[in-house]
Each structure stands twice: as C-alpha cells, then as structure tokens.
Structure 1
Amino acid sequence: MTGKSKRGFASMDRAKQREIASKGGKAAHQKGTAHEFTPEEAREAGRKGGEAVSKNREHMAEIGRKGGEAVSENRQHMAEIGKKGGKQSHKNS
C-alpha cells in the first residue's frame, strides 16, 4: 500500500467537506469565537499567499495560458474591444 486509506472527513467528497466546514465557521461566528483579521493580519496573509503562488512559475504559466486561451476563443469580441480602445485613445489627442 502506498499510503494511508482515507477515513472520516478525508474520505468525504469535496462538497460534503465544504458543507461541514461552512457550518463550523457559521457556528463560530454566531458564538463570537471566530477569528477576525485585523487589516495588518489580512495584508500579511495576502503577501504570504502571493509569495507562495509566485514561487511556482510553472503554475503561474499555466494560469496565464488558460487566461489567454479563454480570451482568444472569442476573436470577434476581442476585435470590438480593440476598436473601442483605439477610438478612445484618439479622442484625447
């Protein structure tokens, strides 16, 4: 066997896990024991998350490719956006 078999929470599908976790979070807020981030804590968490994501260049490249594919699927839409942008830039001249 290559690993431990999943039991309990780990054996549940993602939807069930989210449902249970959501109930726990709601209960903590109602009870008044949920952690509230200060603006400083939120900034620090965001900074750390950004650092972690940007370290994985392959992951970021994949995100960029998916975004590019989604945008390029609708060429007509992109052409219209380009035309509008060009017209706007000439109005200010």
Structure 2
Amino acid sequence: MADVQVHDGTQTTPKRKRGFAAMSPEQRRRIASMGGRRSHELGTGHEWTSEEAAKAGSIGGRR
C-alpha cells in the first residue's frame, strides 16, 4: 500500500501518465511522422508559399 495516499479521509492512487505523455519521445516522433506522411499522401498536407510564410512571420506572436 505504499502507492496509496490518504487525503481528507479518502484514499487516492497517484496519477499515471496517459496517452502521448506516457510515450517516449521516440514513439511520439514516430507517430507524428506517420501522420505527416499520410496527410501528404492524401494531398491534405499544407505547404507554405513564400508569401504565406512571410505573412505568418510578420504576425509573429501578436494575436
């Protein structure tokens, strides 16, 4: 029972990381890479034009 905490008369277990938080950086990178590749295969991936990139760069963090 070392992992059980008592607070206000109730017992709680420590929270565990779930989903992407529980994965190693390599696993997250691999999954993200698969998603990016797939979107480009389907033609739904976005590629910036130089004009779009310049506009986004000029906006910066002003929102």
Shorter chain as denominator, the TM-score bin is 0.5 to 0.7
Q: 1:40 Cα shift?
A: 1.9
> Alignment partner of 2:48: what SS?
coil
2:54 counterpart residue number = 43
Q: TM-score, normalised by structure 1?
A: 0.41
| Matched pairs, number | 46
Q: TM-score, normalised by structure 2?
A: 0.58
Which has the higher relative contact order, 1 or 2, with Cα contacts under 8 A spaced 6 or more apart?
2
Q: What is the RMSD of the two structures over their aligned residues, measured on CA atoms?
A: 2.0
Query: How far, CA to CA, are the matches of 1:15 and 1:46 in structure 2?
Result: 29
- Unpaired runs of 5+ residues, structure 2, are 1-14
Runs of 4+ in 1 over 3 A off after TM superposition: 44-47
- 1:25-73 CA distance string (max 9 Å, x none): 000000000011121222244452xx7xxxxxxxxxxxxxxxxxxxxxx
- Unpaired runs of 5+ residues, structure 1, are 52-93
Structure with more strand by fraction: 2
Query: How far, CA to CA, are the matches of 1:44 and 1:5 in structure 2?
Result: 42
Structure with more helix by fraction: 1
